[in-house]
Structure 1
């Protein structure tokens, strides 16, 4: 604020996806407690968000079964042997639960869990993207381009990275994550406090993501037990003509909205950029997502 006084008092919003379901509300909470009113925080928006451990896990396996990715037997084994609420409270899963979870993982081995209908990358050795990529067509090999790029010595030098010369390449994920135990198991109390302080909260979910699917988001939001302010309805990516269904929205009292994005995976803008733009624009302006009642006639 001291360096850029022209921004003082401007509305401030925070957005993010996936594990940002934790650190976006946590950052907003810190601002609310320690930097308000200097920072004029107005809202947060989190997508396919990790919010509440046990509902996230249960919703994931529910999604697998309802989308025909796992067998009835595997689903029954999970429902019988996995106590999600106990695991969410810190209890270790049983051996039978692990076995059933392993069966589910095996069933999804050849599926992109971040978009269950997306094609797989056919060549993991690709290191450069197409000459003329299109924002309308998601490239399933993107992760491999990034990994190859960030492992280039000249790139690491420019970023002042890997100065200790590690004996293994950089990768987006590693076993370190499975040994990390400091993550909060839920941010629902924080979301409640944000709402009590009139902070707008939008939880959006690409409906083809299997990692933190829409079923998880719905179960997590339902834990808040909020009264419905505006019932479930479709929203549209355009108000021109008949419009295109962009997804669905339900609004709750306290200024929380749950929004689905039709045909989008874990990273919504990567798969459905048009719907993502409409989503962000309406979130920032505080307007309702387009309803077909507002559609213009050709």
Structure 2
């Protein structure tokens, strides 16, 4: 019997091992890194069968005094490395000096690590370099991922006690708009129940957030009208004939279907992530337009690795090719201390996850949190058709908070950077919503200077 138990005991002892490493240089970056980078795994679950991979970067200003951010990317299934390179991290690709086989890195002058400590987490399991030790452990959901992330943060803070006193914010964008408020509730309730370690939770930050698939998708048509993509007469007719529901369409409602077909013609050539940038259409030029279905309201996912790069038009997705080349390089994985054999391939956004969306509307969590002493910053790029700002503003209004300040512009270097509005509840909970002028999905990728100014002021309790 003992010979049967020994392998099991060895397995259990290996599962619990955490790993963290200080990275002093990276392939593609000249010289030593001018900031402190740590990578590692934290095991979560009953037997720590889920191993979540993270990148931690200390603030370049004052690690002791600056806030600690936990950052989650969207998807679900998009790696936080994408956020690190293309949005708010200290590194970015030097496109002018990079080649297909040799990506070159350079410093990002607008990194949020200038003013904050940031944990970039690959979650849920199966995202980025995170993996599971059993097949069944790859099954995840909104609530399970939130619980595992809360467990990750508790264990990470116990291993890094010097950051327990830092102000803590849970942050992210896109689909993390569903998961982040659940995590914040987990932390808040854990603090109330006396769970260890106590966390200095101050609030949360969400960019271009998903909250409810059906409502988010429906808001694309009102947004298209506001931005002159849809003619006034067509919008009014569609609104009347479809009774304001553009997703769950009655197949016998011919007038609604006809209007939606015209709407699809207006929107089919628009890049949902940014309405002013070219759309990457890899379909045959001879394809025929299909009849209306809700796909016009859903994002088209393109595998930019398997499609040959075209010279015209330029498309933003071509930039992402470098992340695939870099993250799948053997030297890079060894430098990051990625465990060999755990992930055959790094994918920027893994849409093949075994994932259940069990929270259909996350607004209920915001309503719960509005009773607590917390701060919230919600921002949206105003050129984002994927998750339009009008829908975000609509659910914020549904919270019935007290208006603190009117809709007003804020500036960066004398130029309008966006418009903001502030709310409160019982003088405890405060929520600021702002647009990022010219920003897309997600805003920091398109307007990095303005987004850095925004969070620098907000974390410092200054008006935008």
Q: TM-score, normalised on structure 1?
A: 0.74
Query: What is the 5 A alignment of 1:22-37?
Result: 22-35=178-191
Corresponding residue of 1:226: 401
For residue 110 of structure 1, report the CA deviation from its aligned partner: 2.4
- Any idea what the Cα deviations from partners look like across 1:94-117, whole Å, max 9, x if unmatched? 225677556544433322111001
Count of aligned positions: 265
* Regions of 4+ moved over 6 Å: 155-158, 160-166
Corresponding residue of 2:422: 251
1:73 to 229, 234, 237: 234
Specify the SS of the correspondent of 1:250.
strand
For residue 68 of structure 1, report the CA deviation from its aligned partner: 2.5
Query: What is the 5 A alignment of 1:1-298?
Result: 1-35=157-191, 38-71=198-231, 72-73=233-234, 76-77=237-238, 79-81=240-242, 84=245, 92-95=248-251, 96=253, 101=260, 103-120=262-279, 125-126=308-309, 139=316, 141-146=318-323, 154=330, 172=349, 174=351, 182-238=357-413, 243-254=414-425, 255-289=430-464
Specify the SS of the correspondent of 1:196.
coil
For 1:35 and 1:282, the matched residues in 2 are separated by 27
For 1:155 and 1:141, the matched residues in 2 are separated by 23
For 1:226 and 1:271, the matched residues in 2 are separated by 30
For 2:172 and 2:344, the matched residues in 1 are separated by 31
For residue 77 of structure 1, report the CA deviation from its aligned partner: 3.1
For 1:237 and 1:161, the matched residues in 2 are separated by 45
Q: Which has the higher helix share?
A: 1
For 2:325 and 2:245, the matched residues in 1 are separated by 38
1:155–1:112: structure 2 CA closer, same or farther, 3 Å change rule? farther
Q: Which has the larger radius of gyration?
A: 2
- Any idea what the Cα deviations from partners look like across 1:14-47, whole Å, max 9, x if unmatched? 1111111111111111111124561111011111
Verify the 8 A CA contact 1:149 1:155 in the aligned structure 2.
Answer: no
Verify the 8 A CA contact 2:326 2:332 in the aligned structure 1.
Answer: no
Verify the 8 A CA contact 1:47 1:205 in the aligned structure 2.
Answer: yes
Q: TM-score, normalised on structure 2?
A: 0.50
For 1:79 and 1:171, the matched residues in 2 are separated by 41
Verify the 8 A CA contact 2:222 2:235 in the aligned structure 1.
Answer: no
Q: Which has the higher strand share?
A: 2
For 2:225 and 2:341, the matched residues in 1 are separated by 42
